[in-house]
Structure 1
């Protein structure tokens, strides 16, 4: 244990702060590169089961412009099923921030598994989770790299055309959960004026859009038209 005076402690903290600021700027630059990733058009139809019946990938957007889908392992054969999802996926679910903040940025977060809807509903109630959670019924997990391991896919839509814009898995998923970490992997980012984004991307002043999670007015989704993948 290294014991120092208050002045020495503050000096050490400021030295570390320089490196932390460098990391923040590097993270911002990386997010700017994500916003310039090419878009992959999704032509194959995908179906899921939701609380109200069969839905497709476009339905998962819930009318918003962007969609983030986390493939959680709550499947037959997974340890803990049907009482629990896998421990790692459960940890991810526990740290998800209130989705109203993502919704305010025209972005929907959804989880998807192969467990049935009654099992998912029971699990969500037991664990206190509120994010939309769908049952995979087709090849979505296989086609998007999450049939054996967890992963997070990001999508955007132009009208009814859906595009895949980003994918992260392995340790990249451990940072997920905050509003900012999710927005930073989307094609449109945080949509704030300070960001380095392609021309024409939606941006508003920072802080002005922030609100209590029960006080947002749901924006009308543009459905596309403001920008396109390169």
Structure 2
């Protein structure tokens, strides 16, 4: 292993400052990409989809849990997948391990759920074994095929206007590996982080940065913000 040179603190800081220029460019580029996502057209979801959940049958609208936005990660967990029936696939399991506390997403009127073709008893067993707490539903129709995840994994974002549901974005392949934090999920949604510094379409909901942040056990309503 050929290592980089060892330098003085002053030389090291100079090198860091030089690289910091590119890092800030990357941050601005990421913000600009998220702004373009918020400008994406919406795709109307016109089919009725049904899932099995821990409390029985659920529609796609039910998955929102009354919130305005929904993110659905299709985890690869079903017969024939490596690890079955004791584990979901290794990659999907790593994604699950990286998810932050969902109260912060809920505070931005956004729900995150997992969905797989595994039956609910298997899902509940694996969740208990791995310590996962996210809502996790069973796909029982063409939802995965219709939204680009009939194999492997992928993350779809939706928004609702009353009872009308729209698909707003989709990330898969290596794009999924960057997901997990509250910020990464909000950045793929139609409404974004909903903070005043963002370049969003007119009249999108926004509040001052930091103002809405809270401890995860002290949001209004046990993890949710007031909804407009």
| Paired position in structure 1 for 2:92 | 89
TM-score w.r.t. length of structure 2: 0.96
| Structure 1 runs (4+) greater than 6 angstroms displaced | none
Match of 1:228 in 2: none
Per-residue Cα deviation, 1:59-87 (whole angstroms, up to 9, x for no partner)? 00000000000000111111111110000
Match of 1:31 among 26, 31, 34: 34
Structure 1 residue 93, shift from structure 2 partner: 0.4
Q: 1:110 touches 1:134 (CA, 8 Å); kept in 2?
A: yes
| Structure 1 counterpart of 2:183 | 180
Q: C-alpha deviations, 1:27-62, integer Å up to 9, x for none?
A: 000000000000000000000000100000000000
Equivalence for 1:65? 68
TM-score by length of 1: 0.95
Where does residue 21 of structure 1 map in the other structure? 24
CA offset at residue 220 of structure 1?
Answer: 4.4
Distance 1:111 1:58 in 2: 15
CA RMSD of aligned residues (A): 0.7
Aligned to 1:206, which of 198, 204, 209? 209
Match of 1:136 in 2: 139
Corresponding residue for residue 225 of structure 1: none
Deviations 1:203-223 (A, max 9, x none): 00000111111111123444x
Alpha-carbon distance in structure 2 between the residues aligned to 1:219 and 1:190: 13
- What are the ranges of 5 or more consecutive residues in structure 2 without an aligned counterpart? none
